[in-house]
Structure 1
Amino acid sequence: MPIFGNGALGGGNPPYFAANVAAGPRLIFALLVALLVANMTRAKFQTLSTVHSNSGVGRSSKVDRVMSEYAQNRTAHAPPPESTYPLNLKRDYDGSWSVAVNDTFPFGEAPDPEFAKQDLLFENPDGFASLNAENHPREKLGSDMHYVDGEIILRDGAYRTFRDVLIKVIGVYKVHEGIIMLVGDFLYEDNALHRLYELVSEQKGSWKLSEEAFADALAADLERQRDHYLGRGSKLGSHPVQSKCDFEAVFYIAPGHFSGTTPSPRELASHEGNNSEYIKMNGNITSKQCGTSAEIELATFDRETLFVKAINYTLLVTFVAFTQVLVLIRQMEMTSTPAGANRVSLLSVGLQTVSDSYLFLAHLTMGMFAQRFSTLFNAFAIAAFFKFIIFSIFEMRYMLMIWKARRPSGFSGGWDAMRRELSILYSRFYGSLLFGLIMLYRLQKYMRVFVFALYSFWVPQIFLSIIEDHRRPLHPLYIVGMSATRLAIPLYFLCCPRNFLHVRPQYMTGNWLMAWVAFQASILLLQHRYGARCLIPKRFLPEKYDYYRMLTEPAPQVERLGDVESGNLDEVVPVPGNHYRGKKGSIGYTGPRLVDCVICMTSVSLNGPNRMATPCEHVFHEDCLQQWMDEKMECPTCRRLLPPP
């Protein structure tokens, strides 16, 4: 089954750099092989030259023997003769289908995806089509006819929908005529071989096998395919939903020059029309039972364009991952203290961690499905690795910092208490991850709701800042960087019409998602600039202490008795002396009154524009006290608790 096959992946020449990234290892390998062959050829000619110069009577016989061996090897490795039609069909084909003239498909309301098997309830008169086929020679069928198995995919339009149809098919391939005849779905039908025999008999040409001999030749292949897809022991027709339409398909391959060997990856990747392994075919798929017919045009699947798109996507994911790591490190440095980490919402960081874990699983799954394409597998594996590093190392560590800041008692009671706290944190995280996966599977029809809920990761932080009146919990670079980078991947699939997965673009959903995340980020930036409760009317807020209130006299100078470094203060007593001083301590000065800021040990005006006064009437520079309160909410002078600014 072509995992990424589509007919609208786009033509044109791919970017030179991306194409060389995909072909780089192969080019180096080819150069090494060329050097090895050149050295071997030079050594052989040196041997011939030595034999020619040093041999006596038997010189000519040795030369003849060497030349004879060379001629035999050349004959043995000579390319096979060309044929008009390909001897090997093993590859993927993609193209389009369209309703035949004077015919229609049974349109109607879309059924549940589980029961949409191949009952063509399409809304569009044309769409994407693909074929994955592999032929096998069978002695009982003769040299001119091969057994074929594979699957046909029909989409309702150009993009993936839950109405997509996948038909398992078996058939035969007339090698010398280039005709492929298929019937499906054979998994739940007991007359598949009979219908195939009638389809082959309708074609022009000699046909010598009886129906019994034909069925005997393909019975083992049919049973093997059923066992492969249904599992051993399954009974015919045991599936609860069987197809209403029995499909028959006939394809005619355009004649050309084809080799009899298996195409190399480079040959299959080429999309040039004159390439020896590029196949074009057209045909039709019909159902006499349902009276439907569609014309299909297919060609060799263009892998090179897919590789370029997939590699460009992984480069995007890599850039996004590096950017997220940088802004996350900056945020962790800003909130490295327990007081700073306590202001960050654990739920906000947890939603981002769960989102990255889902992206890790998604990229890993895509890489497993694309493992037959080594280039795609490596690209998706790298993208999955970066997402794994982000959520398992950086974000989990940040969650642990926040958890420790909010529950300090759990990490100060010994190893058992710490282990218990870690178990609670990890069990909640992985439980949420598993619950989300189950809900995602059960509510596939509501994928948009799931995505919007997952991208509401700033909402818990907004409410936490309002409720607890936290000031500046997040760095602006972290807010903007995370909002922009987390939108990159969903917007690629929602707004890019030529994405490599061929998902139908949903521009309205993408615009609403972008607006929703931007709205959350804007509120956080407003809270960072004007305060956590800046958007709430003052009449609904409790009275708040004003750090910029006017003072008539500064607080008296105090001396703290006890161990100041450890914080064990026994007593606070006033120290006699001036409460304030004038400029340069001059007597009789009537200008601005100055006091000392105990944080930076410089003068600060008692009622100047850039000063803050605590409830205990100690005066500090605005910047000094702001930075101090980022670390701890207590007065630098008397150690009393401070209210939120």
Structure 2
Amino acid sequence: MNPGAFNLNDYQQEQMAQQRKKKMLILFIALSSLYVFSRTSVQTSQQNQLRGNSRNKQYNEENMGLIDDSTKALKQLEDSESTIDGYKELYRAFYERYEDEQNGIENPTPDLKGNSASDLLFGTLYSLKRKQFEGVWNSENSQNILGFLDNKQGHFNSYIESYNKSEIRFYVAIRDDQYIDHKSMIGLMIIKRGTNFTIVDKQVKFSNLTLMYNLQNDLQYISNNYHNATIPVNMVIQFNEQTDSEKYINKYSPYLFIKISNENTDDKFSSINISAEADLEDESSQKGRQTMYYAIFLTIVLSIQFIFVIKMMKSFLVQDNEEQKFSLLSLSIVFIWDGFFCFLHLLFAISQDHQFHYFITPCFLYMILWNIFERGLITIVWRNRHANIVDEQILNKKRICFFVCLYSALIFSFFIIKQYRAKSWLLYLVNLYFVPQIIRNVRRGQQVKVCKSYVFGFMMIRSLILLYYRGCPENIAKLSPQYSTCIGIVVIIIAQVLFLYAQEYFGPRFFIPKRFQTDCYDYYYKLPHSQVDLESQGQADECTICITELSMQPVLQSNSSYFKDLIIKAKQKQNYIMKTPCDHKYHIPCLLKWMEVKMECPTCRAPLPPMV
């Protein structure tokens, strides 16, 4: 057997080995992801339980003294900020101590009630540091909030934070609905230690607080007049304890009732009078489940991209000049987009302490895919574009300049995406990543076969993440669903893929009239009908690519579907061959295959113009 001939058994065995490797890789990623999710969840619950036990033991041993050493008391609360047991003790002691103070009872005992009610209230709020509450709000009058929101009720979020031990920052988000890209008022109230308050029916009232707020729509400030505006307000807070057998088994949960009002104004643009009820967000709540499902979905998408990017890099090593097919600009756009998403998910994981373990595997996969594999693909394609540079120093300087520009574009894109992230036109624009590939095919004039691994496995699948954010009503980013935007994205992607296939079958410049293709050449040449005429005209030549007579079909040593497609094209043009401008003749499939690699004549190495 000819050693260079195609062996079907070896080919099938190689394909089966590759399939086994792919299945093992998918199984490994799935098992590792499942292990990380389960193991981290168990460790988190065990750590929370240990922290709660150690904190209760510390309170019992030291009798939970606060005021005699305020710094020490607040340090105790810092150790308990991940659970709510410290809150329960302070909450109960605060109301008992307030009643004692109102009745003139002094209690110098070293337990919690030995502290003032003001410090116990501050400690209660401090124990809820970094806790988020979520619920609903209702308007107490007929006016819209600040003359801006459309509804009289909606979605309410509150977040308590403290950056020092002298003040509590009380953040509130009041929206028409649950989606953050709709109309919303984002406010901040600062409660300093020792702030005067009154209690009526277990409701704590703070008077003359300053509400700093921003009005937003589509995640943008609506006007400079409302940016960082301030109004005086009164705030009423009531922290209740409730037991929910479904969500909080055998433990108490803080339940927030809050009123914010500006009673001394008639200006509708400064009027706010709402009441809200909110529950403490818990990692086992619906939001936690949504995050877990999204992390699994993201892991599956990234795993599929891993498989196909490895397949693409392997084809670069096996096939000569395979990287010439791909557009460097298309890969750069994908690199910038994935870089943004990589940092976005990493920051989200860091900011959400109780959900960090869900994002360990996706963030790791994103970082490897973006910073190693995609950068490697870009490097290979870039080196192919500069293969004519022999001097290594010049080549290194150009490579450094290219990557400096690429990472600068990545940083600049952060500001653009942050500013217009809620706009549909931005989503349409970033999904035009096949347009540079189409333009490159037109400029080169080569009839390139569509690489399915590149189009479907590496490029298109990343759009599923955008479709999730704009098509799933319960997405983790709380963006409003826009089904028209999703349809537009799908239409744009399908149109680009169909255009690539049209370039493959009809030529890269099929949509350009021939009179405008001045630099193109029609390679198709019709053979005479008889062999006698062929010999008499001296055209009984051989194809120098396959070493077969031009009047015969080429013998191709492969069973690839790609060669079958080329043979079908050749049969559709009976008695046609291809002739170059330098008057060398070849079989149609042979020259088409050659021109995918090099745009030069196989015989005399003369440059070949693009095909018509």
TM-score with structure 2 setting the length: 0.65
After superposition, where does 1:70-219 map in structure 2 within 5 Å? 90=128, 91-100=131-140, 102-106=141-145, 108=147, 121-133=148-160, 150-161=170-181, 163-170=184-191, 179-182=203-206, 185-186=209-210
- Counterpart of 1:612 in structure 2 is 577
Task: Please say if 1:417 is aligned against 2:394.
Answer: yes
- Indicate if the aligned counterparts of 1:344 and 1:473 stay in contact, CA closer than 8 A: no
Q: CA deviation at 1:152?
A: 2.5
Deviation string 1:72-127 (CA, Å, 9 cap, x unpaired) is 99x989x99x9896676624321010112x4322454xxxxxxxxxxxx2122222
User: Would you tell me which structure has more helix in proportion to its own residues?
Assistant: 2
Distance 1:18 1:623, change over 3 A: closer
Which of the residues 253, 263, 276 maps onto 2:251? 276
Distance 1:598 1:23, change over 3 A: closer
- Indicate if the aligned counterparts of 1:152 and 1:169 stay in contact, CA closer than 8 A: no
Q: CA deviation at 1:359?
A: 0.9
% identity of equivalent residues: 21
- Indicate if the aligned counterparts of 1:168 and 1:187 stay in contact, CA closer than 8 A: yes
In 2, Cα distance between equivalents of 1:30 and 1:606: 74
Distance 1:427 1:529, change over 3 A: same
- Indicate if the aligned counterparts of 1:251 and 1:281 stay in contact, CA closer than 8 A: yes
After superposition, where does 1:330-479 map in structure 2 within 5 Å? 330-334=311-315, 339-370=321-352, 372-373=353-354, 376-410=355-389, 412-413=390-391, 415-441=392-418, 443-444=419-420, 447-472=423-448, 474-479=450-455
Write the letter of the residue equivalent to 1:129: F
Q: Aligned to 1:307, what secondary structure does the other structure show?
A: helix
Q: CA deviation at 1:129?
A: 1.0
Distance 1:447 1:29, change over 3 A: closer
Q: CA deviation at 1:303?
A: 2.4
- Counterpart of 1:625 in structure 2 is 591
- Counterpart of 1:285 in structure 2 is 260
Q: CA deviation at 1:548?
A: 3.7
- Indicate if the aligned counterparts of 1:338 and 1:405 stay in contact, CA closer than 8 A: no
- Counterpart of 1:301 in structure 2 is 281
Write the letter of the residue equivalent to 2:505: R
In 1, Cα distance between equivalents of 2:197 and 2:247: 24
Deviation string 1:430-486 (CA, Å, 9 cap, x unpaired) is 222233234445x44874443333322211221222233122165133223344312
TM-score with structure 1 setting the length: 0.62
Q: Which is further off, 122-131 or 333-342?
A: 333-342
Q: CA deviation at 1:287?
A: 1.5
- Indicate if the aligned counterparts of 1:551 and 1:606 stay in contact, CA closer than 8 A: no
- Counterpart of 2:303 in structure 1 is 322
In 1, Cα distance between equivalents of 2:367 and 2:250: 41
Distance 1:287 1:407, change over 3 A: same
Distance 1:182 1:389, change over 3 A: farther
For structure 1, list consecutive stretches of 5 or more residues without a partner in the other structure: 1-16, 35-71, 109-120, 139-145, 190-238, 258-266, 556-578, 582-592
In 2, Cα distance between equivalents of 1:454 and 1:362: 16
Distance 1:156 1:19, change over 3 A: farther
Distance 1:604 1:431, change over 3 A: same
Q: Number of residues paired by the alignment? A: 471
In 1, Cα distance between equivalents of 2:288 and 2:34: 8
Write the letter of the residue equivalent to 2:144: F
Write the letter of the residue equivalent to 1:524: L
Write the letter of the residue equivalent to 1:363: H
Write the letter of the residue equivalent to 1:167: L
Distance 1:463 1:32, change over 3 A: closer
- Counterpart of 2:474 in structure 1 is 498
Q: CA deviation at 1:357?
A: 1.0
Write the letter of the residue equivalent to 2:348: M
Distance 1:280 1:106, change over 3 A: closer
- Pick 1 or 2: higher relative contact order, CA cutoff 8 A, min separation 6: 1
In 2, Cα distance between equivalents of 1:126 and 1:31: 39
Write the letter of the residue equivalent to 2:345: H
Distance 1:641 1:551, change over 3 A: farther
After superposition, where does 1:426-575 map in structure 2 within 5 Å? 426-441=403-418, 443-444=419-420, 447-472=423-448, 474-542=450-518, 544-552=520-528
Cα RMSD of the aligned pairs, angstroms, is 4.6
Q: Aligned to 2:525, what secondary structure does the other structure show?
A: coil
In 2, Cα distance between equivalents of 1:598 and 1:536: 32
Q: Aligned to 1:394, what secondary structure does the other structure show?
A: helix
Q: CA deviation at 1:351?
A: 0.8
- Indicate if the aligned counterparts of 2:242 and 2:255 stay in contact, CA closer than 8 A: no
Which of the residues 607, 613, 634 maps onto 2:600? 634
Q: Aligned to 1:599, what secondary structure does the other structure show?
A: coil
In 1, Cα distance between equivalents of 2:201 and 2:250: 20
Q: Aligned to 1:502, what secondary structure does the other structure show?
A: coil
- Indicate if the aligned counterparts of 2:154 and 2:174 stay in contact, CA closer than 8 A: yes
